[in-house]
Amino acid sequence: MTVGHGTQQPANAVVLPLVIAPTAVLAGLTLPALAKAKEKAQSISCVNNLKQMGLAARVYATDHNDAYPPDILSMKNELTTPKILICPNDPNHKATATLTWDNFDPSQSSYEYVTRGLTESTPGVENKVLFRCRIHGHTCLGDGHVEQKNSRVR
């Protein structure tokens, strides 16, 4: 920086650390909060997926004499996309952009179909776990509601 009659001042050497240091401190404080918010958003998306799966299972049962589907793939007419069957936090399935029912394998699902062979009239069906997220541990019960686990995402 030139001041007055062409003399050089070492102002940049002083100003630069004064600008960088607070910026680095703010970034250090903000990034963990952003990571936590992203983790929470992924958990909420997982719960939404389970709710859609529970609704799909109940719609399937309505169309099939009150019997829940024999497997996850049987619900493909009730689910708009197989992407619903992938938890957003599943490290094994980050590339879901090209996923369709034609190239989906049920073993790719992040969700476990826990209780098979139920019907809408099974005693206590509303309290039986239908689906469980392998990542978060959230569960979808027979009446379609989802119970969230409060543990940290693994």
Query: Residue 50, Cα to own-chain centre: how many angstroms?
Result: 10
Is 27 domain-assigned? yes
The total of structural domains in the chain comes to: 1
Confidence of residue 152 (pLDDT cuts 50, 70, 90): very low
Write out the residue range of the structural domain in which residue 124 sits. 10-147
Is 33 domain-assigned? yes
Is 74 domain-assigned? yes
DSSP codes of every residue in the chain: -EETTTEE-THHHHHHHHHHHHHHHHHHHHHHHHHHHHHHHHHHHHHHHHHHHHHHHHHHHHHTTTBPPSSGGGGTTTSS-GGGGS-TT-TT----TT--GGG--GGG-SEEE---S-BTTSTTGGGSEEEEETTT--EEETTS-EE---SPP-
Is 1 domain-assigned? no
Is the distance from CB of 117 to CB of 64 less than 8 angstroms?
Answer: no
Is 29 domain-assigned? yes
Is 28 domain-assigned? yes
What is the tens place of the pLDDT at every residue in 67-122?
999 999 999 999 989 999 999 988 887 666 778 888 888 888 999 999 888 888 88
Q: What is the pLDDT of residue 61?
A: 93
Is 152 domain-assigned? no
What is the tens place of the pLDDT at every residue in 27-39?
777 777 777 888 8
Is 153 domain-assigned? no
